């Protein structure tokens, strides 16, 4: 969504902004060191599920905000998929008006407390910060985003906008991940009657079942849901669209627009021999047992999990890092990442890799499992791996791993987590007639409007992109809301 340069200009030209900018020279600002995020000590945090990053103090935040040069043509904004007015909110922090900063964020980002924690800022806004050109560490935009939104939440001062023009028109969102939540919030603000249908007993998609407590406390997710409820969004849990209810049924009930945000929840396995041995999990199962079902509190909670002593996690993305760091917290003595490319190619956020290393995780890169060996009860005991070398670059621009012949060896393991990615769940695409589906199982949409081949159905997030990011899912939800509103306004009444 392009930002209006004139709005930015007007915002920047306010009296107080000019004064603030003049109060310190660019040289002085850029001489300040980048703030460090305070975090729990690696040993202390590995024993439990408390949030690792503890957040900036007011003083730290204001100091970091001073580093921002309040550029006339802020390049960071172009790196943000939802084009947050970044200097706008940062200067409000420098001014000391934290609640206003939070509100400024919410103009464009419905879930800043979440994004401030999980966005890969190092490849988005911060990668485009002007400090990069000066060969200096960028402004800590993500930390500041988190700071402002935490201030608002902790102050209990969350403002729910009054809704003008309530419309009788009902619309539905399928799934309750970040794509649907953003869609729902936007439509509710415009006065539509929104119902979100979620298959699980808990809301928020990956934010609940995937990303662990130590990276994204569930209390934050819950307060975002409470905000949407206050906006008038209705949530229906335990409803599997396509099974419990179909889109047809909903049309009959009077729903006029649909947004599919059902994610990419189907785990991939590698189909190597022995992969069905006991103790081998998909990352989805491992993380769902722990995050959604609270298996880390077994037997106080009823869902069990194998608490391995020697755990290998296959993969190099955020899911793999979350799984391996979870294994550490469940008491693993040896927790390993096994990844077939080199560390440079790992898609995980740098912060996660760094935290995993601090927590004692071993990285076996250029290594790939080819077989699992079980004991006579069927429990995994060893894994056979082979070493890989790096060949020519593939389509993704990353160098392709190639097998080094004769390099196999065995590693003792009692738990393995396969975190090599997920595919879109075929349930929805299969259950709706007329949808266009790609060969990867994603739903095909018009990129400008997120509209599918069925006019009243829009889609976004991982069901359209395959495994992507929270902020991209949110951007899609917002774009779809705008396009659905146009669609509904143009539609002949009663049609």
Partner 1 sequence: MNKVVEKELLSENVVKLVVEAQAIARKQCPGQFVIVRTDEKGERIPLTIADADRERGTITLIIQRVGTSSCKITGLNPGDALADVSGPLGRPTHVEKLGTVLACGGGVGIAPLYPIARAFKQAGNRLIAVLGARNRELLILEKEMAAFADETIIMTDDGSYGRKGVITVGIEDVLKREPVHLAVAIGPAVMMKFTALLTKRYEVPTIASLNTIMVDGTGMCGACRVSVGGKTKFVCVDGPEFDAHQIDYDEMIQRLNTYKAEEKLSFDGYLKSLS
With CB under 8 A as the contact rule, which of the stretches 20-28, 193-201, 227-235, 444-452 interacts with partner 1?
A: 193-201
* Beta strand pairing call for 280-282 and 457-459: unpaired
Q: Is 87 in the site for ligand FAD (CB under 6 A)?
A: no
| Minimum CB–partner distance for residue 109 and ligand SF4 (Å) | 5
Q: Is 79 in the site for ligand FAD (CB under 6 A)?
A: no
Draw the binding track, 114-133, toward ligand FAD (x: CB under 6 A; -: no contact): ----xx--------------
In the three-class reduction of DSSP (H, G, I as helix; E, B as strand; rest coil), residue 164 is classed as: coil
Please choose, from the candidates 127, 80, 129, the residue with its C-alpha nearest in 3D space to the C-alpha of residue 107. Answer: 80
Q: Is there a cis peptide before residue 299, judged by omega within 30 degrees of 0?
A: yes
* Long-range contact pairs involving 483-490 (C-beta distance under 8 Å, separation at least 24): 483/448, 483/449, 483/450, 483/451, 483/458, 484/171, 484/187, 484/257, 484/259, 484/458, 485/187, 485/190, 485/192, 486/449, 487/257, 487/449, 487/451, 487/455, 487/456, 488/169, 488/171, 488/192, 488/256, 488/257
Pick from 241, 356, 437, 484 the residue near ligand FAD by CB under 6 A.
241
How many CB atoms within 10 Å of residue 27? 7
Cβ(317)–Cβ(342) below 8 Å: no
Draw the binding track, 225-264, toward partner 1 (x: CB under 8 A; -: no contact): ------------xxxx--xxx-------------------
Q: Is 101 in the site for ligand SF4 (CB under 6 A)?
A: no
Residue labelled with tokens 């915002």:
11
What does 118 interact with, of ligand FAD, ligand SF4, partner 1, none (CB < 5 to 8 A by kind)? ligand FAD
Residue (215 or 289) nearer to ligand SF4, CB: 215
In whole angstroms, give the CA distance from residue 313 to residue 319.
Answer: 10
Residue (119 or 179) nearer to ligand SF4, CB: 119
What does 384 interact with, of ligand SF4, partner 1, ligand FAD, none (CB < 5 to 8 A by kind)? none
Among positions 119-158, residues that touch ligand SF4 (CB under 6 A) are 119, 121, 124-125, 141-142, 145
Q: Is 432 in the site for partner 1 (CB under 8 A)?
A: no
Draw the binding track, 425-464, toward ligand FAD (x: CB under 6 A; -: no contact): x-xx--------------------------------xxx-
Q: Is 109 in the site for ligand SF4 (CB under 6 A)?
A: yes
């Amino acid at each position: 969504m392009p930002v209006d340069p004139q709005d930015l200009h007007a915002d920047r030209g306010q009296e107080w902004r000019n004064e603030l900018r003049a109060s310190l020279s660019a040289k002085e600002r850029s001489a300040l060191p980048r703030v460090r995020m305070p975090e729990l000590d690696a040993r202390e945090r590995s024993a439990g599920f408390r949030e690792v990053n503890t957040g900036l103090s007011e003083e730290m935040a204001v100091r970091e905000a001073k580093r921002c040069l309040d550029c006339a043509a802020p390049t960071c904004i172009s790196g943000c998929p939802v084009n947050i007015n970044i200097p706008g909110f940062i200067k409000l922090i420098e001014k000391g008006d934290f609640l206003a900063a939070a509100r400024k964020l919410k103009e464009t980002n419905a879930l800043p407390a979440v994004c401030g924690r999980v966005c890969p800022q190092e490849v988005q806004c911060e990668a485009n910060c002007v400090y990069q050109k000066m060969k200096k560490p960028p402004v800590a935009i993500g930390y500041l985003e988190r700071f402002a939104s935490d201030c608002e939440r902790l102050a209990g001062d969350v403002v729910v906008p009054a809704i003008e023009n309530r419309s009788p028109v009902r619309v539905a969102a399928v799934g309750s991940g970040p794509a649907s939540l953003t869609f729902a919030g936007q439509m509710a603000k415009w006065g539509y009657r929104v119902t979100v249908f979620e298959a699980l007993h808990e809301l928020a998609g990956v934010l609940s079942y995937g990303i662990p407590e130590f990276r994204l406390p569930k209390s934050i997710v819950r307060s975002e849901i409470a905000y949407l409820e206050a906006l008038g969004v209705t949530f229906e849990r335990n409803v599997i669209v396509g099974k419990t209810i179909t889109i047809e049924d909903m049309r009959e009930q009077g729903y006029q627009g649909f947004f599919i945000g059902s994610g990419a929840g189907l785990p991939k396995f590698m189909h190597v021999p022995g992969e069905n041995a006991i103790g081998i999990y998909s990352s989805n199962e491992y993380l769902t047992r722990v995050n959604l079902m609270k298996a880390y509190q077994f037997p106080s909670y009823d869902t069990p999990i194998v608490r391995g002593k020697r755990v290998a996690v296959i993969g190099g993305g955020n899911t793999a890092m979350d799984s391996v760091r979870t294994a550490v917290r469940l008491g693993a003595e040896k927790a390993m990442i096994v990844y077939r490319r080199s560390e440079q190619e790992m898609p995980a956020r740098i912060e996660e890799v760094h935290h995993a290393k601090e927590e004692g995780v071993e990285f076996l890169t250029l290594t790939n499992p080819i077989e699992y060996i079980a004991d006579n009860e069927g429990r995994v005991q060893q894994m056979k791996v082979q070493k890989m070398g790096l060949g020519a670059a593939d389509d993704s621009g990353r160098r392709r791993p190639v097998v080094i012949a004769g390099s196999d060896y065995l590693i003792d393991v009692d738990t393995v987590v396969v975190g090599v990615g997920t595919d879109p769940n075929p349930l929805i695409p299969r259950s709706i007639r007329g949808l266009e589906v790609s060969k990867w199982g994603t739903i095909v949409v018009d990129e400008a409007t997120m509209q599918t081949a069925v006019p009243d159905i829009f889609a976004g997030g991982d069901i359209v992109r395959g495994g992507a990011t929270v902020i991209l899912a949110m951007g899609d939800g917002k774009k779809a809301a705008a396009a659905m509103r146009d669609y509904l306004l143009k539609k002949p009444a009663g049609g």
